[in-house]
Amino acid sequence: MRYKKITPDNSVFVILSFEGPDLYSQAGGLGFRVTELSEALAKKGFETHVIFVGDPYKPAVETLNQKRLILHRWSQWISKYYPLGVYQGEEEKLYDYNESVPYFVLDEIARPAVKEKKKLVVLAEEWHTAECVMRLSDLLHYFGLRDKAVIFWNANHTMSFDRINWGRLAFVATLTTVSRFMKHYMWDMGLNPIVIPNGVPDRMFQGVDSEKVARFREVFESDFLLLKVGRMDPNKRWNMAMDAVAELKRRGSKVNFLIRPGREPYGGEVIYNAERNGLYVYNLNLSKPTFEELLEALQEARDADVLTLNFVVEDEYLRIFYYGCDAVLANSGMEPFGLVGLEVMACGGVVFTGCTGEEYAIPYQNAIVLETADPVEIVNNLYYLKSEPAVGQKIRREAKIAAKRYAWGQVVDNLLRKIEYAAIMQKSDMED
């Protein structure tokens, strides 16, 4: 048997996902994953289609990256009734996606690809696409094209696992997931997914403007400058982080805790608990601020214990924050992968991760890995780093090295090798 390689000449990619590149379509890590993965594939020369629940007021089809990346904004006729984002009107969009995407992929992508003697590679993300993938596989099978396709379905999270027909899905697709932690989780369900980790975009390694970092640091005269970014979800352990800040304050340390939360209703409980613990929470409402405006606003709010960044924080500022803070608290109780943690590491920041899917983090080597939900564990480690600055410096250095192993280019190479294996497993007829 000869080795048959996936190349741009013999393959066309389709990424199926609710989340995608539009701001409207981003609710968590999945949107970034899809954006970066599709761009990385297109950069490697693959024709890549992304079918996602896009902004209803953007073009239905958009071609980027020398016509290799084709964005298909799906369910726009429904999204126009749901301005709050990708998951508003979720059930309505799900129905539409399941009903229409399989036929579209069959007629508009699979058939032309097969005509050009190319293989269809389908990468489907999250529970929302599970039914769609099953229907697509059935359709391809019905029309005699199933052996011209390789289908992957990826679990980024355990959300709505109860809504998936696993027997059927595992039969039609190669299951993948983002970490060995998730693999073990799914083993308990009688499944054996292939691990393809998330990646970090190259721009995260660009380094940060040290002058801007210094000016950002100068704003605060605190003992500890902390940051937390994430959805307002109990799994993210927001209360643990707030309790740690309150504990530091009780011990007489001055803390500034910047938070960039999601808009989920659980946030109300978190802020209530923070205020009850004596923390002064200040909302920073800005709209596309320049760096000067941002610093000015932070200056005005620096007496607050908790500063809520209620605006879209641009990538550049985020990297400055990641690097400039004493620690970024990515202290999730359950994290399938933990993209934020890896991004902080790529920027040379100090991240406190949980200890589930964040398998890139090695305690005291390139990150602080928290083993419990006890806020004192955070407090203790912050005082430790304060007392041992050399450890912090080493963590920052090692973090960058570790994160580089997860650059999207590397991840895609990993992915391609696994597609080649899956093609054999799915008895997909690969052109030489």
Q: Note whether 48 and 68 are within 8 A (CB).
A: yes
58 phi and psi angles, rounded to 5 deg: -105, 165
Residue span 204-223 as binding mask against another protein, x where in contact by CB under 8 A, dash where not: --------------------
Count CB atoms within 10 A of the CB of residue 177: 27
Q: Could you say which of 59, 84, 95, 180 contacts another protein (CB under 8 A)?
A: 95
Q: How far is the CB of 191 from another protein (least distance, A)?
A: 25
> 16's torsion region: left (phi>0), alpha (psi -120 to 50) or beta?
beta
Q: Could you say which of 62, 92, 202, 359 contacts another protein (CB under 8 A)?
A: 92
Q: For residues 129 and 256, which CB has a smaller minimum distance to another protein in the complex?
A: 129
Q: Could you say which of 1, 67, 91, 287 contacts another protein (CB under 8 A)?
A: 91
Q: For residues 81 and 282, which CB has a smaller minimum distance to another protein in the complex?
A: 81
Q: How far is the CB of 75 from another protein (least distance, A)?
A: 10
Distance CA 43, CA 65 (A): 7
Stretch that binds another protein, among 11-19, 95-103, 324-332, 362-370 (CB under 8 A): 95-103
Residue 421 is a binding residue for another protein (CB under 8 A): no
Q: For residues 107 and 221, which CB has a smaller minimum distance to another protein in the complex?
A: 107
Token pair in block for residue 27: 């609710």
3-state SS, residue 125: strand
Q: For residues 76 and 310, which CB has a smaller minimum distance to another protein in the complex?
A: 76
Residue span 70-89 as binding mask against another protein, x where in contact by CB under 8 A, dash where not: -------xx--xx------x
Size of the site for another protein (CB under 8 A): 10
Ranges within 156-175 binding another protein (CB under 8 A): none
Q: For residues 76 and 410, which CB has a smaller minimum distance to another protein in the complex?
A: 76
Residue 142 is a binding residue for another protein (CB under 8 A): no
Q: For residues 91 and 211, which CB has a smaller minimum distance to another protein in the complex?
A: 91
Q: How far is the CB of 327 from another protein (least distance, A)?
A: 43
Q: For residues 160 and 299, which CB has a smaller minimum distance to another protein in the complex?
A: 160
Residue span 116-135 as binding mask against another protein, x where in contact by CB under 8 A, dash where not: --------------------
Distance CA 292, CA 298 (A): 10
Q: Note whether 25 and 18 are within 8 A (CB).
A: yes
Residue 99 is a binding residue for another protein (CB under 8 A): yes
Q: For residues 80 and 117, which CB has a smaller minimum distance to another protein in the complex?
A: 80
Sort 91 into a burial class: Cβ within 10 Å, 0-12 / 13-18 / 19+: exposed
Q: How far is the CB of 147 from another protein (least distance, A)?
A: 25
Q: Note whether 210 and 243 are within 8 A (CB).
A: no
Q: 61-64 and 69-74: which strand pairing? A: antiparallel
Stretch that binds another protein, among 90-98, 161-169, 217-225, 360-368 (CB under 8 A): 90-98
Q: How far is the CB of 96 from another protein (least distance, A)?
A: 7
Stretch that binds another protein, among 3-11, 31-39, 43-51, 91-99 (CB under 8 A): 91-99
351 phi and psi angles, rounded to 5 deg: -115, 140
Distance CA 430, CA 432 (A): 6
Distance CA 404, CA 383 (A): 28
Query: 290, 427, 355: which is closest to 298 by C-alpha?
Result: 290
416 phi and psi angles, rounded to 5 deg: -60, -40
Ranges within 26-45 binding another protein (CB under 8 A): none
Q: How far is the CB of 404 from another protein (least distance, A)?
A: 44
Report the amino acid identity of residue 267: G
Q: How far is the CB of 177 from another protein (least distance, A)?
A: 29
Return the residue matching tokens 């489907």.
124
Task: Collect all residues with Cβ–Cβ distance below 8 Å to 400 and sequence separation of at least 6.
Answer: 205, 345, 346, 347, 348
Q: For residues 81 and 280, which CB has a smaller minimum distance to another protein in the complex?
A: 81
Q: Could you say which of 96, 125, 126, 358 contacts another protein (CB under 8 A)?
A: 96
Q: Tell me, letter by letter, the H, E, C secondary structure of 307-375.
A: EEECCCCCHHHHHHHHHHCCEEEECCCCCCCCHHHHHHHHCCCCEEECCCCCCCCCECCCEEECCCCCH
Q: How far is the CB of 131 from another protein (least distance, A)?
A: 11
Q: Which residues bind another protein (CB under 8 A)?
A: 77-78, 81-82, 89, 91-92, 95-96, 99
